[in-house]
Amino acid sequence: MIRRVCFRLFQVPLVLLLLTSAWGLLQMDHRRDADDDQELNKAILEMLHINKVSASHQTKPHPYMRRIYQRLDTVEDQDFESSDGMLVQSFRSVVGPHPAPPGWIWFNISGLSPSMLGAELVLFRKTLHPRPLNVTVSLHSLSASQDILKESTILEERLLTLDQRPLSGYDVFDVSAVLDVKPVEAMGFQLRYTDERGSLVLHDALTQSLYCLDRGSLSEPLLVLYQVHPLPI
């Protein structure tokens, strides 16, 4: 009788020990699952964060191109006989080719349609001078094909009023003459300035100060090409 009671008393802690061990293992599994879920959630969040950060701004239309699309809709609504519409291409700025000199705004136009007849360089004016100030700007181009660079004559020359922004917010230059140069893989543009005395040589610095040149910005430089002459915006 005494032995039987002792055996039963010995069995109770053994059962508790087994139950405690099982509970501990179960808790470890839960913690491991929770850690795995946390790591998975972290990985997913990191992936989503990367996708969000790396999502190209180029999936959004350039603000200037939204104006073009609106203008095209108006023109096509007025011209009922034109059923084909008008082809418009746009290229955002890129890093210049290897032999290119600094201070130029470059575009990769290797995908240019051969039917294009008009082109314009679009630059967003980000800075205004605090006092009335005028400078004369001449626009030059540089074509690149198979690492051979060829500079053009002046494409356009005009007077810039530095204390007043254009109505559209953009300085738009007619560069249709660059379409006569073929074949071309990349096209670069440079603005050169002269003041009232005919001397001003800080071309690159002044361009960077006046215009938004950042690739990755919605208002970065834009090259727009048309099947006809550029539309007035």
20 pLDDT tier (thresholds 50, 70, 90): low
15 occurs within a structural domain? yes
Q: How many domains does the chain have?
A: 2
Close Cβ partners of 37 (under 8 Å, ≥ 6 residues apart)? none
- The residue segments making up the domain with residue 195 are 58-226
What gap in Å lies between CA 184 and CA 189, rounded to an integer?
14
**pLDDT tens-digit map of 44-58:** 555 554 444 444 445
Q: Are residues 64 and 133 in the same domain?
A: yes
| pTM of full prediction above 0.85 | no
232 occurs within a structural domain? no
Q: What angle do CA 164, 168, 172 make, to 5 degrees?
A: 90
Among 55, 77, 97, give the residue marking a domain's end. 55
What gap in Å lies between CA 83 and CA 212, rounded to an integer?
37
Q: Are residues 73 and 44 in the same domain?
A: no
Helix, coil or strand: residue 137:
strand
> 162: which DSSP letter?
T
DSSP H/E element including 194: strand 186-194
21 pLDDT tier (thresholds 50, 70, 90): low
**pLDDT tens-digit map of 174-222:** 999 988 877 778 999 999 998 877 777 788 999 999 999 998 888 899 9
Q: Are residues 210 and 147 in the same domain?
A: yes
